[in-house]
Amino acid sequence: MVSGNIFHCRKNSWPPGEYISKSTLQLFDYDSSAPPEQAWRRRLNSHANLLKEFRVTFMEAIKMVRLGIRIWSYVREEASHGRKAPIDPFTRESCKPSASQGVPLGGMGSGSISRGFRGEFRQWQIIPSLCESSPVMANQFSIFISREGGNKNFSSVLAPGQHEGLGSSKKPDDQGISSWGWNLSGQHSTYHALFPRAWTVYDGEPDPELKISCRQISPFLPHNYRESSLPAAVFVYTLVNTGKERAKVSLLFTWANSIGGSSHLSGNHVNEPFRAEDGVSGVLLYHKTAKGNPPVTFSIAACETQNVSVSVLPSFGLSEGSSITAKDMWSKMVKDGQFDQENFNSGPSMSSSLGETLCAAVAATAWVEPHGKCTVAFSLAWSSPKVKFVKGCTFNRRYTKFYGTSEKAAVDLAHDALTNYSRWEEEIEKWQNPILKDETLPEWYKFTLFNELYFLVAGGTIWIDSPLLSSSMRNGQDRARELENAVVKETEDKINGRKRTFVERTADSTYETNATTGHNCVDENIYGHDNDDDVGRFLYLEGVEYIMWCTYDVHFYASFALLELFPRIELNIQRDFARAVLCEDGRKVRFLAEGNWGIRKVYGAVPHDLGTHDPWYEMNAYNIHDTSKWKDLNPKFVLQVYRDFAATGDLQFGIDVWPAVRAAMEYMDQFDRDGDGLIENDGFPDQTYDTWTVHGVSTYCGCLWLAALQAAAAMALELGDRDFAETCKRKFLKAKPAFEEKLWNGSYFNYDSGSSGNSKSIQADQLAGQWYTASSGLPSLFEDSKIKSALRKVYDFNVMKVKGGRMGAVNGMHPNGKVDETCMQSREVWTGVTYGVAATMILAGMEEEAFTTAEGIFLAGWSEDGYGYWFQTPEAWTMDGHYRSLMYMRPLAIWGMQYAMNRPKAILEAPKINIMDRIHLSPLIGGFSHNETGGNGYGLQEDRYMLRDVIHK
């Protein structure tokens, strides 16, 4: 952990006492109803300012005009087929982005719904790749209070009156939600976020003598691969009556039959009341999605106890033509505080008509004695068991393994959430408390660390039930066997120098997994999975604006979060990419940057992503550049695999992916044009910085390559492939001095070895390879003095010369102290890269500089004085705070900082002898030729059998 108490002088904490009176905090000091000391906070009446999107400069626009035309043409072509292009800079959301986000709901991979800090339900991502950002304003919690004696009555929606999406006009005869009592000012109400929980405290609003705490709980439980997949959340209300009179309190949960956007107007939706076990009652809302997408069922429920009674109104509408209108519903609650019990017997409602919004309500009513307390719990669950991708593939979500695919599963999900949330909280607190109670860490870091994890829920994540394929494919078992044989033969074909073509599938192919049968994994022959222990397949988007699954150059930064919290998911993602390395897809693709044509997936190249509309089968949805020529993807694959191998000590994983590691390293041999052991860039943006051109040897890709050589050598030695270990060490010993000679200038590594105007720029990310080397327990790539000198240069220039260190690290800086404005990316601050740089500093013993660097992201993105990027941290912002790509994967790299401070035992207890020194070189000379790698008399397949024997010895 961080040494000393160097941060006490600048904690940047937000004590709850500054937002809630101490007496109120004391009233909630039980049953987790009081917000934690370390949390992100907002008052409900805070202004949610609109966010400003990035714009290219005039000169940048001139340079990119041809690319823009090609992208425009491609976007229109995809739209003509009913598909959304993975990158579409021309289409704007109808709802302008604002600083209004909060903690999202539910577990991972089952569709997500976010909830803003003022209470609105928004950012609907139930259908893969589709994000409906606008709030559905009928979805609300409301309260109705009456005191004995009848002289004090209060009613209000528990959200501020001037609420986004509500509109300012209110007609006297309005039958919709504006007829409700929007009486909350929000002045005395506050929101507290510590993902995966959030607290909203109403300190005397709307009743001055009633204190209310609502805490939102979702099942994001590290290392729990069952409940973390559940699409459910719980809202626990704690009511404290400070008055002298007994109070009747009714809480109301209303929900529209909608999945965001205008889906509630599409018709044919049905609501139905239910009673479940343990006093759980509520309403099921069957939603018939448009455009052939699988149906969705919502469940809103409350738990009846000795002191709490539950009633429902299965259906009401928002227009005058509805049999029961929103205004009627509200009037009933104001008058009676509950609905009629006969409503439970009403059965399914009539299907909604086109243009009609069908809503439901659940009320929970309790008496709260003077100076007494009461707890009321609601749950929200949704069941969308089928994941259907645009080009035809259908899978079952992970949670169906435990709950099945019935429409009624939402009842069980809502029930189990209400009966298990206390245990969820215990698991969450056990996980978080060691970090929250660590006094050596700054306060802002603690809650930002957890809150950045929002992306693993709200990042469009998909978690399917079974391994990649199943023999229950609709096209029949013959196709499954064909694919299985293709996978098994990949390694054999490589030995013979052939490239296995990826099996083509027709556009209407549909594959389904079966939640009630065994997995029958078709790739188990090559990967040796234990089906009973498999955790399924996981996808997450690069960003909600860049809709590509598991973008690998970005996963390089984000993957620390998965490795730390859900390592088996991380290993399966690596297995997916390992399989992809050994495949080729020869279909032609036009690359938009230059307009040239190439093939979709090249053998030996790590794909940029796992696809968009047909993930796992149609990879590389990114088509701006030919990523088979990128120089960072293959080294990043090798580095991530070795880090995961070293951290988990999973020998079987190492054996599974080793053929792909070797193939990925061999593939890079072609980019060493002058035989110095180093790879060269090709004069275009052939890296994750895909508008920032590179010439010759680059500090970013070259450093990654050096680190990959070392990691591959270490992994080869551990797995017994000594010849390949020698090959990697030879290249490393040749490449390292060449790298330093070409790029080291005495204080840092130049951007590249070319002669362009930015070749001597200071790149913030110049030691990305060293970051992984140190994270994996490998010896440093360079002398400590050079590492610290380069990081000090980055800190002094890229960090401190930009708004005094209050914005993060700008990507490029000229040695004269001016921002490198060569392209839009060189002048941006990348949030995830900044966290990565901070992690590198921690590993180099520069803790003070590390936390100051990362604090800039907090100050600009999360603080009260920042730009408002909380729970939607973008990929980048400019010096004036304009963002690019909200809700982005890379900021999960903050977990790289935590990993740097708390590396796994397997790494910390690695052998003291330098693993590279254990590789003794033979007289053999050469590169990654097939002859050399097979020089000990066995090829890849023989290697594989030999490596399998390692486990049994």
The two structure tokens encoding residue 96: 């302008």
| Contact status, residue 51 vs residue 886, Cβ threshold 8 Å | yes
Q: List Cα–Cα distances, 17 to 26, 190, 477, 593, in angstroms.
A: 10, 11, 63, 54
Q: So what's the pLDDT on residue 497?
A: 41
Residue of higher predicted confidence among 947 and 316: 316
Judge whether residue 934 has pLDDT over 50.
no
Q: How confident is the model at residue 64 (pLDDT cuts 50, 70, 90)?
A: confident
Residue of higher predicted confidence among 216 and 55: 216
Judge whether residue 889 has pLDDT over 60.
yes
Identify which of 839, 832, 836, 831 has the alpha carbon closest to the alpha carbon of residue 901: 839
Judge whether residue 710 has pLDDT over 90.
yes
Q: So what's the pLDDT on residue 239?
A: 97
Tell me, yes or no, if the two domains 35-50+96-163+176-413 and 537-918 fold the same way: no
Judge whether residue 1 has pLDDT over 50.
no
CATH of domain 35-50+96-163+176-413: 2.70.98
Question: Rounded to 5 degrees, what angle do the CA atoms 81, 84, 87 make?
Answer: 135
Judge whether residue 36 has pLDDT over 50.
yes
Judge whether residue 467 has pLDDT over 90.
no
CA distance 738 to 103: 48
Q: What percent of the chain has pLDDT over 90?
A: 75
> Per 3-state DSSP, what percentage of the chain is helix, strand, and coil (rounded to 5)?
35, 20, 45
Q: So what's the pLDDT on residue 462?
A: 97
Q: What percent of the chain has pLDDT over 70?
A: 87
Question: Rounded to 5 degrees, what angle do the CA atoms 220, 869, 137 make?
Answer: 75
Judge whether residue 949 has pLDDT over 70.
no
User: Model confidence over 162-179: pLDDT tens digits?
Assistant: 655 555 445 556 789 999
User: Model confidence over 633-669: pLDDT tens digits?
Assistant: 999 999 999 999 999 999 999 999 999 999 999 999 9
Burial class of residue 493, CB neighbours in 10 A (0-12, 13-18, 19+): middle
Residue of higher predicted confidence among 854 and 491: 854
Q: So what's the pLDDT on residue 17?
A: 80
Which residues fall within 8 angstroms of residue 799, CB to CB, at 6 or more apart?
Answer: 764, 805, 808, 809, 810, 849, 852, 853, 856
Mean pLDDT, rounded, for 508-523? 32
H or E element at residue 734: helix 722-743
Mean pLDDT, rounded, for 847-860? 97
Mean pLDDT, rounded, for 813-821? 97
| Contact status, residue 831 vs residue 873, Cβ threshold 8 Å | yes
CA distance 687 to 703: 13
Burial class of residue 163, CB neighbours in 10 A (0-12, 13-18, 19+): buried
Q: So what's the pLDDT on residue 149?
A: 76
Residue of higher predicted confidence among 733 and 64: 733
Q: What CATH fold (topology level) applies to the domain 537-918?
A: Glycosyltransferase (1.50.10)
Region of poorest pLDDT, from 34-38, 149-153, 345-349: 149-153
Domain ranges in the chain are 35-50+96-163+176-413, 537-918
Identify which of 110, 196, 218, 206 has the alpha carbon closest to the alpha carbon of residue 160: 206
**Distance between the two ends of the chain, CA-based, in angstroms?**
36
Q: So what's the pLDDT on residue 928?
A: 65
Region of poorest pLDDT, from 475-484, 524-533, 871-880, 890-899: 475-484
The two structure tokens encoding residue 125: 């991502």
Q: So what's the pLDDT on residue 47?
A: 83
Q: So what's the pLDDT on residue 15?
A: 79
What number of CA atoms fall less than 13 Å from residue 676's CA on the CB side?
A: 15
The two structure tokens encoding residue 939: 């090829």
What number of CA atoms fall less than 13 Å from residue 929's CA on the CB side?
A: 7
Q: How confident is the model at residue 929 (pLDDT cuts 50, 70, 90)?
A: low
CA distance 743 to 696: 10
Single-letter amino acid, residue 507: A
β-bridge partners, 282: 274, 301
Q: So what's the pLDDT on residue 519?
A: 24
Identify which of 233, 193, 200, 195 has the alpha carbon closest to the alpha carbon of residue 215: 200
| Contact status, residue 732 vs residue 714, Cβ threshold 8 Å | no
| Contact status, residue 531 vs residue 520, Cβ threshold 8 Å | yes
Q: So what's the pLDDT on residue 12?
A: 56
Q: So what's the pLDDT on residue 320?
A: 85
Mean pLDDT, rounded, for 864-892? 95
Identify which of 115, 122, 191, 17 has the alpha carbon closest to the alpha carbon of residue 864: 191
User: Model confidence over 896-917: pLDDT tens digits?
Assistant: 999 999 998 888 877 667 888 8
CA distance 421 to 234: 7
φ and ψ of 705, to 5 deg: -65, -45
Q: What is the DSSP code string of 592-613?
A: TTT--EEEEE-TTSPPS-S-SS
Which residues fall within 8 angstroms of residue 885, CB to CB, at 6 or more apart?
Answer: 543, 545, 546, 874, 875, 876
**DSSP code of residue 227:** G
Mean pLDDT, rounded, for 44-54? 89
Q: So what's the pLDDT on residue 503?
A: 34
Tracing tokens 């910390």 back to the chain, one arrives at 908
Evaluate the CA torsion angle 853, 859, 861, 863 in order and state its sign: positive
Mean of pLDDT over the chain: 88
Please report the beta strands in 172-279, taking only residues with DSSP state E, as ranges in sequence order. Answer: 189-194, 197-203, 210-217, 232-241, 247-256, 270-275
CA distance 505 to 527: 23
| Contact status, residue 898 vs residue 840, Cβ threshold 8 Å | no
For residue 226, count other CB atoms closer than 10 A to its CB.
Answer: 14
Q: So what's the pLDDT on residue 927?
A: 60
CA distance 111 to 22: 38
Residue of higher predicted confidence among 530 and 709: 709
